[in-house]
C-alpha cells in the first residue's frame, strides 16, 4: 500500500513539474507581450521580410528561430543584464547603440528564455558542428571572407579587433549554437531574406563553411 501511495505521489509530482515547464513557457509568452517586446521582435516564422523596406522597418532582430540560434543559459542571463551585441544601433551604419535594452527580473527572464528557446527551425540540424580550434577555418574567416571587416573578435591575449557594422563575436562561444552558425552560413536567406552580410555558400565549399563554423563557435 505504501509503495502504491509513493508511486502515485511521484506521478503527481512529475505531472506538477511537467505542468510547471509548460506554464513557464506560457508565462514567458505573456511577459514577452506585457513588456512590449513584440514592438521590436517577432517570434512567429518563417521570415516575414519581403523586401529591403521590410527589413529596414524592423526595430530589432527576428526571434522566430531563437531556440535554434542561442544557448539557453546565455539567453537567460542576457535578458537580466543585457549588454550591447552590436556597436551600432540595429539597422544603422552611423548611430551608436544606446545600450538601453530593457532588463527583466530573474523570474521573467527565465520564463521568456523558456518561451524563446522553444522557437526552433528544422533548418538547424543538431550535432553537426563541434566547437574546436580550426586553423583552416580561422584563415578563411580572416583572409578569404573576411569577417573581421564587420565583426569584432578577441585574440588569445584578449585584444579586441574588427569592424563595427555587424554584431560582435566576442563571447560568441557562449552565445550562439554552433549548429546554427553553420546553418546560417549555409543558407542565410532562410533566416534573413534581406541582409547586409554576403552569402558565402556556393563560393566556399561546404567543408570550408563547417571549418569556419567550428572556428567561430570556439571564439571566447
As a whole number of angstroms, the distance between CA 208 and CA 216 comes to 12
Same domain, 177 and 206: yes
Long-range contacts, 51-55 (Cβ 8 Å, 24+): 51/194, 52/194, 54/194, 55/91, 55/192, 55/193, 55/194, 55/195
Same domain, 152 and 98: no
Q: Is residue 129 part of a domain?
A: no
Q: Is residue 125 part of a domain?
A: no
Domain edge (last residue) among 73, 89, 116: 116
How many CA within 13 A on the CB side of residue 36? 4
Same domain, 155 and 67: no
- In the prediction, which pLDDT does 158 show? 84
Backbone angles phi, psi at 173, to 5 degrees: -60, -25
Q: Is residue 171 part of a domain?
A: yes
- In the prediction, which pLDDT does 9 show? 44
- In the prediction, which pLDDT does 46 show? 97
Q: Is residue 184 part of a domain?
A: yes
CB contact at 8 A, 135 and 122:
no
Same domain, 109 and 142: no
Count up the domains in the chain and report the number: 2
As a whole number of angstroms, the distance between CA 37 and CA 70 comes to 17
Domain edge (last residue) among 55, 83, 116: 116
Backbone angles phi, psi at 145, to 5 degrees: -80, -40
- In the prediction, which pLDDT does 38 show? 97
Same domain, 13 and 112: yes
- In the prediction, which pLDDT does 2 show? 44
Query: Does a cis peptide bond (omega within 30 degrees of 0) precede residue 46?
Result: yes
Same domain, 37 and 110: yes
- Residue identified by cell 549555409 is 186
Same domain, 110 and 140: no
Residue 62: all three cell numbers together: 527576428
Same domain, 35 and 139: no
Averages of pLDDT over each 10 residues, the chain, 220 residues: 41 41 78 97 97 96 98 98 96 94 96 97 97 94 92 88 95 97 98 95 96 96
CB contact at 8 A, 10 and 97:
no
CATH of the domain at 213: 1.10.760.10
Burial, 74: exposed, middle or buried (Cβ in 10 Å; 0-12, 13-18, 19+)? middle
Q: Is residue 122 part of a domain?
A: no
Same domain, 81 and 7: yes
Domain extent at residue 213: 135-217
Amino acid at each position: 500500500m505504501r509503495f502504491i501511495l509513493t508511486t502515485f505521489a511521484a506521478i503527481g509530482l512529475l505531472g506538477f513539474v511537467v505542468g510547471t515547464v509548460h506554464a513557464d513557457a506560457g508565462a514567458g509568452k505573456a511577459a514577452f507581450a506585457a513588456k512590449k517586446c513584440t514592438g521590436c521582435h517577432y517570434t512567429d516564422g518563417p521570415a516575414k521580410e519581403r523586401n529591403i523596406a521590410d527589413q529596414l522597418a524592423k526595430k530589432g532582430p527576428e526571434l522566430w528561430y531563437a531556440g535554434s540560434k542561442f544557448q539557453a543559459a546565455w539567453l537567460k542571463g542576457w535578458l537580466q543584464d543585457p549588454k550591447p551585441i552590436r556597436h551600432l544601433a540595429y539597422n544603422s551604419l552611423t548611430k551608436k547603440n544606446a545600450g538601453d535594452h530593457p532588463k527583466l527580473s530573474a523570474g521573467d527572464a527565465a520564463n521568456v528564455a523558456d518561451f524563446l528557446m522553444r522557437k526552433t527551425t528544422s533548418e538547424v540540424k543538431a550535432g553537426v558542428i563541434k566547437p574546436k580550434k580550426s586553423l583552416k577555418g580561422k584563415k578563411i574567416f580572416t583572409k578569404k571572407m573576411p569577417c573581421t571587416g564587420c565583426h569584432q573578435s578577441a585574440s588569445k591575449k584578449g585584444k579586441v579587433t574588427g569592424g563595427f557594422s555587424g554584431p560582435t563575436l566576442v563571447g560568441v562561444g557562449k552565445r550562439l549554437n554552433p549548429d546554427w552558425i553553420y546553418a546560417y552560413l549555409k543558407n542565410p536567406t532562410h533566416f534573413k531574406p534581406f541582409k547586409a552580410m554576403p552569402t558565402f555558400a556556393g563560393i566556399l565549399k561546404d567543408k570550408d563553411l563547417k571549418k569556419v563554423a567550428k572556428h567561430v563557435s570556439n571564439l571566447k
